[in-house]
Chains A and B, each alone.
Chain A
Amino acid sequence: MPGHFRFSILRRTGPFLIFRWGQLRGVPSLLIRSIKNQRSKIKNSIAVLSFLPLASAGADPSGVETLLQTGTTELSSRNFEAAKELFGSVIKETAPGSEPWAHAVFGAAVCAHHRSPTTQKRVEDAARLYHLLLESVAGSKFAPRAALNLGRLAELRDYYEDPVDLEAARNWYRRVIDRWPDLPIAGEATLRLAATFVQTYDMPEVRHGVDLLETWLTTRDDEPLAAGMWQYLGDIYFYPLADHAASLSCYRKGEALGFLDPNNIGTLFWRMAILAERFLEDRELAVEYYGKVIRTGAASGKGYQAQQALERLGAPVPELQLFQPIALTRPPE
């Protein structure tokens, strides 16, 4: 983490550290300041030093397990540099192809992929590790995500002048769908694949992306991302396709399944209400969604205008329930 060093790393890797925090407290303050100033060097040193006892123990399985856990904790806290060192040592100490090895290779790849600043060398290192995992243990639980991440590397600009290669990204996403069709990640790969077509904003390509998603949804009743896919389709039909009826219909399908993100629901209900009233002239639907803006999306700031719209449409107007200190009606989940 740039500009920031924390001794928490020392505490977390406690059992394996030669320089423990308790011992450091005895070191003269000048030395501590000097250590703080050279944070990246010391972080690497700590990680390496922490493995000395493990190395001498000859890859004790419980030690490997602890190191993997510590690496995972560091990765979870986005301390990619420290995590990569930990995973790197596990790679050296475990048999290639074993599950701990796959765990460590995947962890090291993610760290290389996301360590700041992102550079061409690091991205290439990440790609190499993802490839190594796929070639060595294609049956590992980490393999599908490694393949998908290779698609992400191709799709996004990771560093200055990194070319976007949508075709390569599509190949990786297709590979995930074909190789692991029954895992939930296949749905995610389909969403990613469709998005590579949509983001070109070339109309035939956009329609192809829509077809991909609609076909997937008609054959996958149990798709965990279905609500999000319908919402995405609603967005695409709204813009750039300007098919307002299809847009509202997709949003409604997403809503029926339970929108994935309830936090910005007010503005989405507002759009649905406007689509119904202004473009489809469907009073009943408009009343339904203006009501939802008031009852569940008033924090969007659109509650008052939804009340005005209901008045205009001659429909009953629910009260705004925000900031009523005495009211103890439990808000919707």
Chain B
Amino acid sequence: MIPSAGRMRSVSRWININTLGLVLLLATIGLSLGRVMRIHRELFESDKTVLRIGHAALELGFREALDVVIAEYEQLHPDVKIIQNAVPQKIYGEWLNTQLISDTAPDLVELYLASMVLDEHYLASLFESLADSIDRPNPYNAGTPLADWPWRATFQGGMRSGFREGLQDYYGAPITLATIRIYYNKQLLREATGSDAPLDSFGQFLQACESIQDLSERTGSKVTPIAGNLYIVGTFLRRYRVAFTAGYESEVDVDLDGLISHRESYIGYLQGTTDMQASHIRAYFECMKELSRHFGEGYLGLWRDQAAFLFVQGRAAMLAAGSWDATSLFMQSDFEIGVFDFPLPAEGERWGEYIAGRENEAGHAGSMVIGLYQGSKNKRQALDFLQFLTSRKYNEMLTREAGWIPVITGAHPTERMKPFLPDPTGYPMGVDVRYSGYVYEVIHGEEWPFLHGEIDYEEFARRVDRALRDPGYGGDRQWSQEYDQTWRWCRNQERVLATQASRILMDAAAPGGQERYNRLLLQQTLANNGESIRYQFEQVRGKPISDM
């Protein structure tokens, strides 16, 4: 039957852009409502125990790996359903703070970026202490050599990254180890230098950078030797600062703890041991200036994502990035990737005589620390899943699938991840006069014009000296602020101590409560209300700290 002309007109009257818009709007509302209802059903109307785990690990492979381990757990516990909330790093801090304030945080949370998990006083009132569990074996290690080990002892580094010094307690468990290495495009390196072997020394490294630059100019391919970016440049500076200046330790480490504090660096500066004319300091800055020539134009305007993009596109031959990025880089590159550690000037090479050794990674104690939210309705189950994630078998499974490094003793890394294993050989610290506040800002700010060749070393040194000796805001002021912060810290610790003492008196302390109190008490007493800092100032500077 042929529709009449009038009916056709009536239908066509409705087919217009406004109707289309309305349909789209209704469809969008419908979809949104459907999604909200689905999430609501999943979270609140499920006949299962629902656990949520929130994290910021959006690197390729991790979410899928976590899903694999979650599936294993759900198979073992059919009455449990686990949902992961993966949130981009850029908004993770704000997201987590909001969730915590509104009492809607996931049961398990990556303790990262948010002020309410970084501040110990908030942390203690928002997250569960793991003190009750850490000295008991992890049940998921049954049948392995770790079966009777305390949970804490099964972690490489003894779970230290979950330990909060100021609270003397454990508030989280890490699920991976993480290091930073240099990834390189084997094909490009071979084309430029004739070899794709890892670069062992800084001389070879610089030579390779020059060769890549030449290749780029010859072929017009616009390849940058190193994909520099603001996220990673600080790591380069630190790694080489330690290598060049760790040798000053015997002269400037006055408290003999084996570490070089900012205060000790500043005292060394005032005494002329570690000032800007000191041979190793000067050599370090010259070396960094030479290195930064190969970071590519405008590298300070790039972040890690853009730099990684340049690398996987073959527009940069090398990239310094974390072990957590390995899967993303390996999967997205259509060329073979090699990995090596930050190479140091070898003996006989330029700057070789200034090198003490590499910065070590002995302090690495695990990353992606997961905490147990105090407001969780299913704390016991959430803790059980955290133990599952950090058991030898499932931590190996998780990190193998994700392309990460396992954190549990006896869990094997993949061949690809072996170059990323933390290396404890080397030195823990170098000289760093960038105390804090004004001094840090000025010196840090002046590094860029020097590294970019806008000012020469003498001018850079003059500006650093001016900042450090500024009577109002310089090193003395920063020293007095350290004193101020230390006595404030002692006062704040009084709150932690009073709470713990009250728990003990009121019979509400966890096992080991008295030992924990004694550790806190000693820690606070050793700080002497900051007065040793005041006394040292007066001894070194010959004036009262109150003048500052």
What is the interface of chain A, defined by CB distance below 8 A to chain B?
1, 3-8, 36, 68-69, 72-73, 75-79, 103, 106-107, 110, 113-114, 141-142, 145, 149, 152, 155-158, 188, 191-192, 195, 198-201, 224-225, 228, 231-232, 235, 238-240, 260-261, 263, 266-268, 270-271, 274-275, 298-305, 320, 322-323, 325-328, 330-331, 333
A78 touches B499 (CB 8 A): yes
Considering the chains assembled together, what is the distance between the CA atoms of A158 and B491 in angstroms? 7
B423 touches A305 (CB 8 A): no
B519 touches A106 (CB 8 A): no
B522 touches A300 (CB 8 A): no
B502 touches A107 (CB 8 A): yes
Closest Cβ neighbor of B105 among chain A residues:
A6
B427 touches A156 (CB 8 A): no
Considering the chains assembled together, what is the distance between the CA atoms of A192 and B521 in angstroms? 10
Closest A-B pairs by Cβ, 8 of them: A301-B428, A201-B535, A228-B522, A270-B258, A199-B531, A267-B257, A322-B424, A301-B362
Contacts A299-B365, A301-B429, A322-B156 given; indicate if A201 touches B522 (C-beta within 8 A).
Answer: no
Q: Which of A103, A188, A326 contacts B506 (CB 8 A)?
A: A103
CB distance from A199 to the nearest CB of B (A): 4
Residues of A within 8 A of B255 (CB): 238-239, 271
Q: Is B422 an interface residue (CB 8 A)?
A: yes
Considering the chains assembled together, what is the distance between the CA atoms of A298 and B506 in angstroms? 38
Q: Which of A8, A141, A199, A300 contacts B529 (CB 8 A)?
A: A199
Contacts A114-B494, A304-B424, A325-B156 given; indicate if A263 touches B163 (C-beta within 8 A).
Answer: yes
Considering the chains assembled together, what is the distance between the CA atoms of A134 and B55 in angstroms? 50
Interface residues in B166-216 (C-beta closer than 8 Å to A): 168, 177
Closest Cβ neighbor of B357 among chain A residues:
A304
B427 touches A228 (CB 8 A): no
Considering the chains assembled together, what is the distance between the CA atoms of A327 and B412 in angstroms? 11
Closest Cβ neighbor of B491 among chain A residues:
A156
Q: Is B122 an interface residue (CB 8 A)?
A: yes
Interface residues in B484-538 (C-beta closer than 8 Å to A): 487, 490-491, 494-495, 498-499, 501-503, 505-506, 508, 514-515, 518-519, 521-523, 525-526, 528-529, 531-532, 534-535
Q: Is B121 an interface residue (CB 8 A)?
A: yes
CB distance from B103 to the nearest CB of A (A): 5
Contacts A198-B528, A299-B157, A303-B362 given; indicate if A110 touches B498 (C-beta within 8 A).
Answer: yes
Considering the chains assembled together, what is the distance between the CA atoms of A228 and B522 in angstroms? 6
Contacts A191-B525, A325-B156 given; indicate if A149 touches B498 (C-beta within 8 A).
Answer: yes
Q: Is B165 an interface residue (CB 8 A)?
A: yes
A114 touches B424 (CB 8 A): no
What is the interface of chain B, defined by CB distance below 8 A to chain A?
100-103, 116, 121-122, 124-125, 145-146, 149-150, 153, 156-158, 160, 163, 165, 168, 177, 255-259, 357, 360-365, 374-375, 406, 409-413, 421-429, 487, 490-491, 494-495, 498-499, 501-503, 505-506, 508, 514-515, 518-519, 521-523, 525-526, 528-529, 531-532, 534-535
Closest Cβ neighbor of B255 among chain A residues:
A239
21 contacts between A and B (CB under 8 A): A4-B100, A68-B506, A72-B502, A78-B124, A78-B499, A79-B125, A110-B502, A195-B525, A225-B518, A225-B522, A231-B526, A232-B522, A239-B255, A261-B523, A263-B160, A301-B362, A301-B363, A301-B429, A302-B428, A326-B410, A328-B145
Closest Cβ neighbor of B412 among chain A residues:
A325
Residues of A within 8 A of B490 (CB): 156
B525 touches A232 (CB 8 A): yes
CB distance from A98 to the nearest CB of B (A): 15
Closest Cβ neighbor of A198 among chain B residues:
B528
Residues of A within 8 A of B519 (CB): 260-261, 263
Residues of A within 8 A of B521 (CB): 188, 191, 225, 228
